[in-house]
A and B are shown apart, each in its own frame.
Chain A
Amino acid sequence: MATTAALRGRGLTKRFGEIVALDHIYLDVAQGQIHGLVGPNGAGKTTLLGLLLGLAVADEGELEILGTPVGRTLDAPDGVAGFVDGPGLYPALTARRNLAALAALRGRDNHGADIDDVLDQVGLSDVADDRVRGFSLGMRQRLGLAAALLTEPRLLVLDEPANGLDPAGTKRVHGVLTRLAANGTTVMLSSHRMDDVESLCAEVTILSAGSIVFSGPLGKLTAKNQELDYRLRTSDPVAARALALELPGVRVIDDADTPASQDSEVLVVRALVPDLDELVARVVRADIALRELAPVVSPLEAAFLSLTDQTEQKEAGR
């Protein structure tokens, strides 16, 4: 069985005049994986996604998509679909007509069933014959995803696909992406919503100022990180607080800037995972019911903030 990366970047560098948008990026993404791409604004995410879609070529480095080297603009191989900076839709056309025009552009005139199917997948069957002009942002995002699905992609590139989605829409989009990945499609997903990335992605790449500050499994990112803040809701907050204060590796947070710490029934502690485990064991042994345990900010978000802060400090120090 051969091993093939859906995406393989080696030393990718892209400049816009004096600005280095991407600085020697090395990236591997496996087939059938949903890979998250996160980073602050201006980190180079859109530029990287643009390279994957073939909208631009790297000034330096090598890029291989689905096993095919990409050397020229608009040279991405068949099977690559998606959008950056929002889906491209024509407001004067209905949702169905947008998809039909796109299908006809690709020489697939008689694929009405496919159009119905992708509209159903993204939950837009009921508004299929409405003009896109009246669509909300979330509906446009879903229609953009439907347009990408219509091409039966092997690499799907999505930029902020969850923008404007309500919980039901988010759930539907997550379901579509998970099914695609299960069927072997690679999904490259850029998002500022860490909860989306955490719930969908097996691996994540964090970009900051054009450089990769982390790329790998989410679990590895969490383990590498520093102490995290956790909120504990127990049946006896006073006793739980006393137990936490006894443990040297656990700090109780009473910071006014942490909203959770203002709730008298909630204990907020800062600890590494082993120390947190010890605290939980002591709470349980003390016959205190543990009703809720959750990080105050997600591990990914904490890592993101920590790593990008470090990069920004380095940049500022130069």
Chain B
Amino acid sequence: MTSAVAEAPPSPARPVPVARSYRFELVKLLSQWRVRVLLIACLIGPAGFVVAVGQQSSLPSDTTFGRWMSSTGWAGPLVLLGFSGTYALPLLTSLIAGDVFAVEDRLGTWRHLLVAVRSYQRIFAAKTLASLTVIVLLVVGLAASAIVGGLASVGAQPLVGLDGHLLSSGDTAGKVLLAWLCVLAPTLALGAIGLLGSVALGRSPMGLILPVLVALAMGLAQLLPLPIALRLALPSYGFIAWIGLFTDPVQAGPLLISIAVCLVWAVVATVLAYRLFIKRDFTNLSNDGGGRRALVVGVVPLVVVLLLTVGVITWSARPTGSGIDKDKLQRSVATAFAHLYRLQASQMHHPDVTESAMGAAAACTKGTGQVVQDGAGTDWRCAVVWHLPGVTAGQSAVYELDVTSDGRYQADGDGPLQINGYFMVHTGTGDQPNPLWQFDGNVDLLPSN
């Protein structure tokens, strides 16, 4: 029999507030050497990359805005943004969100944490918010470092947009920041997939690398000639859609759709991770939450989301074919050419001529003209014609186009040499290649209203 001194019953168990739990998770995350190394790398690496590449004589002209890296400091952050979408951001989300739950399995600290916090919901909220905070911190670090590096090494000169028009420095600054902000949406989607993998796969290293694998698979899918609705329904399109900000008018349709899709994926994957987490049995040591069932519960709803979004996009935006047709290309090439012609005239101190006075038009042909005049390919060829005031005869120039299935293209001048050949032009920032020699463009994959 037991007897003891009378003592007031203890107060009922109260879960720890989310704010405290969040701070605890942040302390744990930021104490990991891996996270510290990432933070330092994100703060130093991009600036170093932008400065180093900007000084090279050979620029990464195969990447969007890469050819302008020695002309303006705004190009560097955009080149880095393109690179980050493919490699850096999936890797960052993997290492942070993909590990935030699994680390407790590895360390055997779940029971300690549960006893301390006393709420599954609050632990999930705190871990999700903490990983989100660190991911955003890393993205901000990447952007800030690249911008500072670019502006410090090259300067804040105007940037040539993807339709050839010159964006003022202030306008470019806003668009660069907006582009990085837009990329947060697919990053959040990958982060949520990382949370899901971390909960569903437990100690398995597959959980850690899930966002990278998903991003790689979706990135590869973007290279394929997919139906437009499916292309836009994949969160990876969010890493590409920002380039629509650099045309006039802005290609807002694909951008807004991709942001909405990414946010839906982020919410659904987070909810799935939450449901798996609160159903986990923490009394069984051998159970780390992983397993086939967890994987199915996590994957099937995301496939359903993908199919639903494909349906909604098809119904609402009514995309057709590949989204890249002859008319769109002709309009895009003619517009870009006219803008760049004015830039070239200005750089070469030739008389200015307005776009409307030029009346530039393009005639594009795919292959020999016998194939379907639609879709991506390296066999597009466009002849641009325009008029100059006081000159009776029409002018013309030819371009060969390399069009990718996401709507981007690179136009390569094919004569005449004095118009779109390779020669250097003296500019305020030093000698630059002739702006009409090669240029990048982008067509809106959705039908224009």
Contacts and interface: CB of A to CB of B under 8 A. Distances in A.
Contact of B115 (A6, A32, A54): A54
A104 B119 contact: no
Interface in A24-78: 28-33, 46-47, 50, 53-56, 66-68, 74-78
A66 B16 CA distance: 20
B300 interface: no
Interface in B89-137: 107-120
A90 B1 contact: no
B269 to A, nearest CB: 25
Given A4-B7, A30-B4, A55 B282 contact: yes
B9 A74 contact: no
Contacts of A104: 20, 23-24
B2 A74 contact: no
A79 B4 CA distance: 16
B283 interface: yes
Contacts of B283: 16, 47, 50, 55-56
Q: Is the interface of A mostly helix, strand, loop or mixed?
A: loop
A124 to B, nearest CB: 17
A82 B111 CA distance: 10
Given A87-B112, A88-B107, A107 B6 contact: no
With a 10 A CB-CB cut-off, give which of B15, B33, B115 has the most chain A CB atoms. Answer: B115
B46 to A, nearest CB: 26
Given A31-B4, A54-B118, A88-B107, A74 B20 contact: no
A292 B27 CA distance: 56
B31 A105 contact: no
B356 interface: no
Main secondary structure of the interface of B (DSSP, over half): loop
B289 to A, nearest CB: 15
A82 B114 CA distance: 12
A300 B424 CA distance: 94
Contacts of B118: 54, 74-76
From B24, B111, B118, name the one whose CB has the most chain A CB atoms within 10 angstroms.
B111
Interface stretch (A91-99, A222-230, A258-266, A306-314): A91-99
B2 A28 contact: yes
B20 A1 contact: no
B12 interface: yes
Contacts of B20: 104-107
Given A85-B285, A86-B108, A92-B33, A74 B5 contact: no
A5 interface: yes
A226 B230 CA distance: 78
Contacts of B3: 1, 3-4, 30
Interface pairs A-B: 5 shortest CB-CB: A88-B112, A30-B2, A31-B4, A88-B109, A2-B6
11 contacts: A3-B3, A4-B3, A4-B7, A56-B283, A88-B108, A90-B31, A93-B28, A104-B24, A105-B116, A106-B116, A107-B20
Interface of B: 1-7, 9-17, 20-21, 23-24, 27-28, 31-33, 107-120, 282-285
